[in-house]
Amino acid sequence: MSCSIRRSADWLFPRRLSLGIILVLLHCAPVHAAPIGTPTHWFKLGSNELALDQPRVRITVFDGDIRIGPDVANLFLLDTGATGIFIAGGEFLDLGDFDFDFDFDFDFGFNMTNAYEELTTAPHPVTIAGTVQEKGIGGLITVEVTDAYRVQVQAGAGSSVVLDQAHMLADGDANFGGFAGIVGMPAMVGRVTQLGMSHWSNLDDLLDFDDLADSDDLSASLFMRVEFRDELPPAPDAVGRVEVPVYYKDFPYEDSPAVMPTSGPLPFVDIHLSNGSNSVVTEAVFDTGAQLSIISSPVAVALGLGEMVEDAEAESGFRFEPFINLGEELLGGVAGELVAPYVLFDRLMLEGKDGKRLSFDPITMLVVDIDPEVPAILGSDFLTGLWADRLFGDSTTPPGYFDDIYLDFRGALGSGDQRDGFIVFDLNPYHIPEPGTTTLILGVVVWFLGNRRPAASDSRC
């Protein structure tokens, strides 16, 4: 299963980059973080309308000691919203391997290729062992399943993961924008995965075109940094580290395929949503593969954001109609495309370990019904807050909210309720308040909590 979604009308980060500058402007909304019960901190944060970037890795497929490839189309999306490894057939163009000449004489002497073609037509090709019904944003689609191969997943700082006897999903018609495929949860269970953004703080280094032209790996300078780790490193600032508990769900294949794809569980977090007097407690997939975050139509209706109206063309006979028209987005993913409406509501809150809390308000999300087991998705737009403003601003523009995010899935190898984990957010020091500021805010929040009225509606979806 793949919950990942992206805007069909736009390329991903690699194809939106011109001279190292992203040509997509993002809108940020204020966010707050505070501990549960009596707050001791209040972090002023924000969320994005579209993810500035998403984590990427490179893969190499081996049959025993024989290296198969891919040689060019090997840049894959590292996707916590995907249960397996997916080889796509969409045309791929690797920005990191361009010969950049910043006198504006670009050398585009390259051939477009794709991972599916490279692997299935190699001198020692990947072979197909069967098919399976894969579920994505557009419903069910039949995709191929490969024989078992050894897959090396390479991240930054020389870190890598090797998956032995991996059966991959493959579809020559699938297109994931600027990525040649998807590496899902099998590469992340049992370890810590670091998503680093602090290097975006230094605008002079980031947009130094001479250095970029001399760089052997453009992605190390421009893109989100990814590193596989055995342990969670100490917090640079204990106050500014928020650890949100994770639990896992398995999504078995309903058609019982003869060859079972290699798969892992999806990570979920509890979320608290509020809009006016309405509040909802539900769960969300934490999905680095989604550019935009979503809630389901039952959640949106419970928040008072719209209603269900009859629609003969809809599979269920009904569709969600928002009370306020904020526009729509054409989304693409596994199994097709669909149009989804935007909604705006007051707050989304994550409860962290040790009484800490991250709350985002107000929030814009899309309304999409993917699966009854997926009432919401938190995408990469929650990870890169304010970094776009930093990139397009100047030296006075505040840095992004999170320097590093750690996907601590070391406890995901068990079964059922015995599995555990955390999404660990390390805030940039700029956004950690001084003790005096914390004390003042604490007094205001304690007064507010003591005098607030109870919500008129509180439901669980």
- Per-residue confidence (pLDDT) for residue 22, from 0 to 100: 24
Instruction: Say what the pLDDT of residue 316 is.
Output: 80
| Spatial distance between the Cα atoms of 210 and 174, rounded to a whole number of angstroms | 36
| Strand runs labelled E in 346-446 | 347-351, 357-360, 363-367, 376-378, 402-408, 421-427
Amino acid 375: pLDDT: 96
Q: Is the dihedral of CA 47, 366, 93, 16 positive or negative?
A: negative
What pLDDT is attached to residue 366?
95
Q: Give residue 103's region: left, alpha or beta (phi > 0; psi -120 to 50).
A: alpha
For residue 163, how many C-alpha atoms fall within 13 Å in the half-sphere facing its CB?
25
Domain boundaries, the chain: 6-460
Q: pLDDT by residue for the chain (461 residues), tens digit each?
A: 666 555 543 333 332 222 222 222 223 334 444 444 444 454 545 555 567 899 999 999 999 999 999 999 999 999 999 999 999 997 765 554 444 343 433 343 445 689 999 999 999 999 999 999 887 666 788 999 999 999 999 998 899 999 999 999 999 998 888 899 999 999 999 999 999 998 887 755 555 544 444 444 545 567 899 999 999 999 998 889 999 999 999 988 877 788 999 999 999 999 999 999 999 999 999 999 998 899 999 999 999 999 999 988 887 889 999 999 999 988 866 656 788 999 999 989 898 888 888 888 888 999 999 888 899 999 998 888 778 777 777 777 788 889 999 999 999 987 777 899 999 999 888 877 665 544 444 444 444 445 544 445 566 67
Q: CA-to-CA distance for 424 and 383, rounded, in angstroms?
A: 11
Task: Record the tokens describing residue 433, joined without a space.
Answer: 């308040």
Distance of CA 158 to the CA centre of its chain: 22
Q: What's the Cα-to-Cα distance from 260 to each of 144, 166, 251, 285, rounded to whole Å?
A: 11, 10, 12, 23
Cα-Cα end-to-end distance for the chain: 21
pLDDT at 20: 25
Q: 436: burial class by Cβ within 10 Å (0-12, 13-18, 19+)?
A: exposed
Within its chain, how far is the Cα of 426 from the centroid? 17
Token digits of residue 137 = 């944003």
What are the angstrom distances between the C-alpha of 201 and each of 156, 197, 207, 222, 381?
19, 8, 11, 11, 18
- CA pair distance 9, 382, nearest whole angstrom: 21
Residue 205: the pLDDT is 54
Rg (CA), the chain: 22
The pLDDT of residue 132 is: 93
pLDDT at position 115 is 95
pLDDT, residue 369, reads 92
